[in-house]
Amino acid sequence: MPSRTSEPDGRLDRHPILTFVRGRRLRFFFNDRPVYGYEGETIAAALVANGVKVFRHTEKLKRARGFFCAVGKCSSCLMIVDGRPNTMVCTEPLRDGCRVEQQTGRGRLA
């Protein structure tokens, strides 16, 4: 059975089938706030581990959306990454120093 690490970051560290290899620690920015993740993680995984549950809001009804399919098939995880809107952060690798922002609706080019 999967188990959570003793650290408060919410990452899984033991699994009966999968092996988790944690890369080097990376700093990135979420809504201009410094947060941390690990090399080899997706942006979404790092955000969830940092307690972020809302990734975006729908345009019309302003409904909150978060981590859902984790394979790039839905649009719940669309965020602005380094100024680029509509980035699926569930499949986007975390990069040191990247800037991630919540997005409302379809996103607009700056």
Angle at Cα 59 formed by Cα 57 and Cα 64, nearest 5°? 20
Distance of alpha carbon 72 from the chain centroid: 12
**Selected residue with higher pLDDT from 61 and 30:** 30
CA distance 67 to 42: 11
* pTM flag (> 0.85): no
**Selected residue with higher pLDDT from 86 and 110:** 86
**Helix and strand element counts for the chain (H, E):** 1, 10
CA nearest 30: which of 6, 16, 49?
49
Going from N- to C-terminal start, the domains of the chain cover 24-104
- In this prediction, residue 89 has a pLDDT band, given cuts at 50, 70 and 90, of very high
**Residue 19 confidence (pLDDT) above 80:** no
> For position 109, what pLDDT does the model report?
54
Q: CATH assignment of 24-104?
A: 3.10.20.440
Mean pLDDT calculated for residue range 71-83: 88
> For position 95, what pLDDT does the model report?
97
